[in-house]
Chain A
Amino acid sequence: MTAPKAGAWGKMANRIQKSVPMLMILPSLLLAVLIIGYPILDLAWTSSQEVSRFGKLIGFIGWGNFAEVFADPLFWESLSRTGIWTLAVVAGTLVISMPVAMILNDDFYGRGVARVIVMLPWAISLTMTAVVWRWALNGRSGLLNATLMQAGIIDQPIEWLATAGTAFIVEILVGILVSIPFTTTILLGGLSSMPQDAYEAAVVDGATGWHQFRYITLPLMKPFINIAIVLNVIYVFNSLPIIWVMTEGGPANGTDILVTYLYKLAFRFGQLGKAAAISLVMFGVLLIFTILYVALISRNDADDAAPEAEVDDEH
């Protein structure tokens, strides 16, 4: 646009012109601040308040709620279980998704069908998946027991969800299952952008399949693997539906992770102060991972601009 030169009118037109994009983002900004920003402040306030037995805030107690949380053995158990849950699901997902993505990236008969089947769990919500698995794992008549018994693998039905030990393992497996589609998609994105000539050169040099994977695929895939890990950590760390629907953190708090424990404190036991304190702890952890994620994608952006810069960042 050819703006009129100098003069008060020109300046004003210029100012209006400049504020147009601001006005366009303003409505979305306001909603995001109200719904996502404000509750954080409210949690900070709630976490500093003493709470009556009836869930009313009755006065300032500073760090009291945090002290109570840190003195609570159930918090530490849930925290360590959150660590195991997150680590196991993210690692398990990655280990399965990498070969699956490599297969789907190759050309073979029935690839279209294979893609749809691999992505299936993504099409159903976590809540519904968990409801179906809760029934499938029913200790008496569940269809998993039916399958295993009809195949002659077991001769007594197994009470999958009745003890915390097996329930937690099963929940981790379901967690892995539902995380595979998203992870495979990210890895496929990486694989399809891989330069073909690197492989051709390697074949000429006599590199075997494993060497190709170890020295070409894996290093080139590193940015995508990193992003898949960080995003999965964030999603899995926060995920309530699977554990909540299948066992509600039970039996006897044996499968509680931070989110389920927090939810019970807030909405079953009315311990708002403690629940707010745990929310803030989780917010802190999330913030760290989000910053890590922002750093990762901006580094990838920078790498796109200057591919040579990547060499020294391996060391």
Chain B
Amino acid sequence: MNTKLRKSIFYWVLLLPLAVVNIFPFAVMFVTAVRPRDELFVYPPTWGFSEFRWENFSEMWVKTNFGGALMNSLYVSITATALALLLAIPSAYAMSRYRFAGKGAYRIFLLMTQMMSPIVLVLGLFRLMMTLGLVNDLNSLVITYAAFNLAFTIWMLQSYFNSIPRDLEEAAWMDGASHLTSLVRIFLPLAVPAMVVTAIFTFINSWNEFVLALTMMRSSNDFTLPVQIYAQVAGRYQVEWHHVMAGTVLATVPVAIVFSWLQRYLIRGMALGAVK
């Protein structure tokens, strides 16, 4: 047996417990989502079940107002991402291309905002939204999510902007283009891939956020997906677990696939902000 094969077997044996525990929740999710309702609470508990009931998904969609929550989540995540990018692009450009007084201080300030978790500020934020009349308004989530994602978005963009050579813009200035023209015609098109990746991560962060959505949204019509699914579980005597798991599958799997695919880019954003 060659050494690489032996090493591989050894490593897989070591990784096996972690792999099992990581896959376990996904198995629970799928197996429960397609189970007939009367096979949820059987004794003794078992993994087996009699038939795949795909109708669980369509029933769940209607019963839990999944579509409404999906639209709320989409609205909040897309708008918050757009707002965060709109504010972050000029900031990241300034951080990448200019030296100016207070640049270091701004970097530290962003770092501080990154470390502040919504939960510590949640009471102050709730009172702020009361003052602004935005409680029960999805836009309260839009502006808070944009704000909490700013630091990450700016770092991520800045790290890409740094990798776009200055010469390209300088060449354009030589040819008589104004700074604005060179920015719009030359720089931004080059930065599109970076902006797309950054946008996807901001989107996922907003999509997954729980505490603020739980706090600001008081009527069930305004719930985003995580809160909607939580509401099917919390404080209920009879939980329809097959519906809850069907909802969880629909709400997480598409996002999880995109995330797994793009995860290696995430490290770049962390690299500049966190691990230098």
- Chain A interface (Cβ < 8 Å from any Cβ of B): 1, 18, 20-22, 24-25, 27-29, 31-32, 34-36, 38-43, 46, 96, 99-100, 103, 106-110, 114, 116-129, 131-136, 138, 140-147, 149-150, 157, 177, 180, 185-186, 189-190, 224, 227, 231, 234-235, 238, 240-241, 245, 248, 259, 262-263, 266-267, 272, 275-276, 279, 282-283, 286, 289-290, 293-294, 297, 300-301, 304
Contacts and interface: CB of A to CB of B under 8 A. Distances in A.
B115 A234 contact: yes
A23 to B, nearest CB: 8
B126 to A, nearest CB: 8
Nearest to B256: A123
B11 A106 contact: yes
Contact size range, B = 35 or more
B192 interface: no
Given A43-B124, A129-B25, A149 B44 contact: yes
Contacts of A109: 4-5, 8
Given A123-B259, A177-B21, A177-B22, A266 B123 contact: yes
A126 to B, nearest CB: 7
Contacts of B29: 132
A34 B146 CA distance: 12
A108 B108 contact: no
Counting chain B CB atoms within 10 Å of each CB, the highest count among A133, A136, A149, A282 belongs to A136
B98 interface: yes
Interface string B75-99: 0000000000011101101110110
A150 B100 CA distance: 66
Interface string B29-51: 10110000000111111110000
B148 interface: yes
A86 to B, nearest CB: 13
Given A46-B124, A117-B19, A108 B230 contact: no
B208 A127 contact: yes
Contacts of B106: 25, 29
Contacts of A20: 94, 98
9 contacts: A24-B94, A32-B151, A109-B8, A117-B22, A123-B256, A135-B32, A180-B18, A241-B211, A304-B276
Nearest to A297: B276
B45 A132 contact: no
B87 A28 contact: yes
Contacts of B229: 127-128, 131
B274 interface: yes
Contact of A40 (B26, B45, B47, B121): B121
Contacts of A27: 86-87, 90-91
Interface stretch (B58-66, B159-167, B244-252): B244-252
Contacts of A138: 241
Contacts of A119: 260, 263
A103 B42 CA distance: 41
Contacts of B241: 135, 138
B234 interface: yes
A11 to B, nearest CB: 17
A213 to B, nearest CB: 15
A142 B263 contact: no
Contacts of B15: 100, 103, 114, 117-118
Contacts of A289: 115
A141 B120 contact: no
Interface string B132-144: 0000000000011
Closest 4 CB pairs of A and B: A39-B124, A125-B208, A35-B147, A238-B117
Contacts of A28: 87-88, 90-91, 150, 154
B28 interface: yes
B115 A286 contact: yes
A307 to B, nearest CB: 14
B115 A293 contact: yes
A120 B119 contact: no
Contact of A245 (B28, B119, B230, B263): B230
Given A124-B252, A142-B45, A24 B91 contact: yes
A126 B25 CA distance: 12
A282 B116 CA distance: 10
B124 A123 contact: no
Nearest to A107: B4
Contacts of B230: 127, 131, 245
B255 interface: yes
B196 interface: no
A177 to B, nearest CB: 6
Contacts of B31: 143
B47 A123 contact: no
B182 interface: no
B185 to A, nearest CB: 18
B245 A135 contact: yes
B72 interface: no
Interface string B5-23: 1011001101100110111
A103 B14 contact: yes
B262 to A, nearest CB: 10
Nearest to A267: B215
Contacts of A132: 25, 28-29, 245, 248
B211 A18 contact: no
B210 interface: yes
